[in-house]
Structures are given as structure tokens and as C-alpha cells.
């Protein structure tokens, strides 16, 4: 018993050290991202801009504080939220191939945004409708999947496929009737995800919704380990399994819906980052959830920095996340499966 306790303490210490290292790397990436771009800025100028040095060139100060800083903050918040949401969904369904859009939230939000662009193009309407229809899609899934006053996981998955396909069809319908010269390109670009139009007001909205949801999942992370047990065994340990699942689904869905409504659909983060987190800290959700938050924030920060620096015409985020995430995901699968086979 003493040896087992000592091993657990040692494991917790190693996880904390790894999380601290990841946090330091994220802080370094934050300052590097402020420096890089088509307009190069030195680290000393970045620090002077952040402390509002009046002797600094106003152009440099404006680039740092009004152009790059809100994008960087938004990329970190959204990346952390999507990664945390992905890890939570994978925990609920016990499937490492699950991503945050499995219950149709991305398709619903995409339809809402496309409808808003078709109607007027007003940013407030687009974001509001994206959030509303994203949450509505998951609400429909929960209603359909509830049979005999109980929600089964396989019914959730099937209901998510049905609702997602329905809203994808509605998106295709809107793209079909949209003006090909003006509206259709706007819908297409929005659906691929971008942080180009980020402002401090959007950052505040994201922070006020995604961060509290992340904190809730952080407080529940030790209970997530019990969801890997048989339902009867988890119930015998005092866990209300169905209530816990509903809370995690609602919180994760809200994070995803807010992210999509503000930045468009950004794929692969919720699928890939939890696997990277497991590779670093293991399967224990007490360390996995914080690791996903940090790694997800850093990953989307890197992706957005590449998107705004690589070419004069900014690349949509979903293109880069797929181009980088898909091969890396394949590499991770080969590595983990190869290690388990030995």
C-alpha cells in the first residue's frame, strides 16, 4: 500500500512538472506570436507596446495592441475550449475518434451563420444565429436520444449523425440559393474559420463564456475517470452518471457553439489535441484536461500565426488545421499503436 501511494505521489509530481513546462512553452509562444507577422517587430518593442511606452512608434504600438493581441488572445481561448471540449466528449463516449461536432453543434452553428449572411450579413446577426442554431441542434439531439426517460450513448451518436446531416443539407441549400458573386464566397470563407475580424469585444464574449465552462470541466475532471468504469460500478461509487454526462455535454457544447459563432468552424483541434495530451501526461483526466487546455491554446496560436504570416491573402484556419493535424494524427496513431503492440 505504501509503495502504491508513493507511486501515485510521484506520478502526480511528474504530471505537474509537465504541465508547468507546457505552460512556460505557451507563454513563450505568446510573445513570439506578438513578434512574428508580415510586419516584423522585435521582442523589446513588444514589451514597450504592452506597457504603453509613449516613445514607441505609434504604428508598432497599434500593430501589437490592436491587431495582433486580440487575435492571439482569441486563438488561445478558442483553442483551449475546443481541445477541452474534445477531451470531454471522448471521455463521455469512450471513443478516441470523437470530436466536439459529433452532436451536430458545428453543423447547426454553420447553418445559423450561413442564414445570417444570406439575410443581411450583419455580424451580430450572424454570430447570434450561429450560437442559437448550434445550441438548438444539440437540444434536438438530446430530445431525440431520450428513450424511456433515459439517454443511451449509442442513441446520442445516432441522433447526432441525423441532426448533423440535416443541418449540413440546409447549409448546402443556402449555398445553392446564395448570390455566387457576393454572398456565397462570404459563407464559404466563414465556414472555413478565421480570426481576421476579431476585436476586443469578441474576446470578452469568448472569455466570459469559454473560460467559466473550462473551469467547470476542470473541477469535474476527477469524476471523468469514473466514466470509464461500468455504469453500475460508477453509480455504486456515488456518481450520478447520467447527470454528469448531461452537464459535460451542455458545457462542452456551449464552448463549441460560442467558438464557432465567433470564429467559424475550426476542425481537428478537438480530435487531435486530446491525443497529444494523452501522449504527454497519460489517460488520467486530472492531468489530461489541463494539458489539453494548454496544448490547445498553443496549437491554435501557432496555426493562426502561420495563417496571418504565410501569405498576403490570409489562409482559412480549417485548411491549416487539417493539413497539419491530419498527418500528425496519423503519426500519433502509428506511434501509440506500435508502442502498444510491443
Q: What is the DSSP string of 215-276?
A: HHHHHHHHHHGGGGS-HHHHHHTT--HHHHHHHHHHHHHHHHHHHHHHH----SHHHHHHHH
Q: How far apart are CA 52 and CA 66, in angstroms?
A: 12
Residues 298-334: tens digit of each pLDDT: 999 999 999 888 877 788 888 888 888 888 778 777 7
Q: Which of 319, 290, 301, 318 is nearest to 106 (CA)?
A: 318
Q: What is this structure's pTM? A: 0.91
Task: Report CA Rg, the chain.
Answer: 21
Q: Which of 41, 11, 14 lies closest to 309, judged by CA? A: 41
Residue 64 to residue 73: CA distance in whole angstroms? 12
Looking at every residue in the chain, the average pLDDT score rounds to 87
pLDDT band at 340 (very low <50, low <70, confident <90, very high): very low
Q: Quick check: 291 pLDDT over 80? A: yes
Cell of 90: 471522448
Q: Do 43 and 31 contact (CB within 8 A), yes or no? A: yes
- Residues 6+ away with beta carbon under 8 Å from 290: 19, 218, 221
**What pLDDT, on the 0 to 100 scale, is given for residue 3?**
65
- Mean pLDDT on 215-225: 90
Amino acid at each position: 500500500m505504501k509503495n502504491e501511494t508513493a507511486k501515485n505521489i510521484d506520478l502526480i509530481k511528474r504530471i505537474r512538472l509537465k504541465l508547468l513546462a507546457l505552460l512556460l512553452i505557451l507563454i513563450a509562444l505568446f510573445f513570439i506570436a506578438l513578434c512574428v507577422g508580415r510586419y516584423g517587430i522585435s521582442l523589446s518593442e513588444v514589451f514597450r507596446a504592452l506597457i504603453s511606452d509613449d516613445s514607441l512608434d505609434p504604428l508598432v504600438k497599434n500593430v501589437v495592441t490592436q491587431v495582433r493581441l486580440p487575435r492571439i488572445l482569441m486563438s488561445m481561448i478558442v483553442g483551449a475550449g475546443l481541445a477541452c471540449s474534445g477531451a470531454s466528449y471522448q471521455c463521455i463516449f469512450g471513443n478516441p475518434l470523437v470530436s466536439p461536432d459529433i452532436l451536430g453543434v458545428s453543423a447547426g452553428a454553420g447553418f445559423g451563420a450561413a442564414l445570417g449572411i444570406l439575410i443581411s450579413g450583419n455580424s451580430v446577426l450572424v454570430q447570434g444565429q450561429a450560437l442559437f442554431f448550434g445550441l438548438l441542434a444539440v437540444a434536438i439531439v438530446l430530445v431525440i436520444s431520450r428513450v424511456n426517460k433515459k439517454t443511451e450513448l449509442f442513441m446520442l451518436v445516432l441522433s447526432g449523425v441525423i441532426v448533423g446531416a440535416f443541418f449540413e443539407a440546409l447549409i448546402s441549400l443556402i449555398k445553392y440559393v446564395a448570390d455566387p458573386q457576393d454572398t456565397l464566397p462570404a459563407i464559404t470563407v466563414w465556414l472555413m474559420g478565421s480570426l481576421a475580424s476579431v476585436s476586443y469585444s469578441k474576446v470578452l464574449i469568448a472569455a466570459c463564456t469559454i473560460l467559466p465552462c473550462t473551469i467547470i470541466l476542470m473541477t469535474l475532471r476527477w469524476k471523468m475517470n469514473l466514466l470509464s468504469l461500468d455504469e453500475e460500478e460508477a453509480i455504486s461509487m456515488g456518481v450520478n452518471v447520467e447527470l454528469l454526462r448531461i452537464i459535460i455535454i451542455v458545457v462542452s457544447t456551449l464552448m463549441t457553439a460560442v467558438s464557432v459563432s465567433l470564429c467559424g468552424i475550426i476542425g481537428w483541434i478537438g480530435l487531435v489535441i486530446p491525443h497529444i495530451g494523452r501522449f504527454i501526461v497519460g489517460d488520467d483526466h486530472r492531468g489530461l484536461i489541463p494539458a489539453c487546455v494548454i496544448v490547445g491554446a498553443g496549437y491554435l496560436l501557432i496555426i493562426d500565426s502561420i495563417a496571418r504570416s504565410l501569405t498576403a491573402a490570409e489562409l482559412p484556419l480549417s485548411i491549416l488545421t487539417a493539413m497539419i493535424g491530419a498527418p500528425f494524427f496519423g503519426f500519433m496513431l502509428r506511434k501509440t499503436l506500435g508502442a502498444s503492440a510491443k
